[in-house]
Structure 1
């Protein structure tokens, strides 16, 4: 169950990072509110997951989901540049996340 909670924490990290970009430096109200709410949810779920997962594993997976997720959202929805190097980097991060899960 902790792993599922951790995945949701990472997804909320993607949400708040995306909303922060859309808030235009916290000058747009609803994206700014979404950013703060997403941060609270993300960190709160991370804290719950850390009750039974090791710190290094939980934090690495949380940031990895957030990083790769934000990268994917940026490319698909925000017209950010895609390159072979960026895809390779995201792939390495995903491999690292899988290895962290396997190592528990």
Structure 2
């Protein structure tokens, strides 16, 4: 996890309920606790299907910006209702790119 990252998070807790929320990363010791991002996310929810989480969110992007860097990480371990760190290897090191919300790329 990189300091300064802004996250859309989804996980299934120990009772089986799916949680989706936003989380800013302010240190390398983050627990991905819920908190606001630098842009508004008025709606966020998630579904779990075919061993994957799908996050649906409405983002209010900063004025004049449509292109952003994106990263996904897979942290399979949940201790109670707290996410634990993801692996620092494999697909987690290859999971980056960019997205432009104006043209869908």
Query: What's the TM-score once normalised by structure 2's chain length?
Result: 0.34
TM-score normalised to the size of structure 1?
0.34
Which is bigger in relative contact order (C-alpha 8 A, separation at least 6)?
1
Which structure is higher in helix share? 1
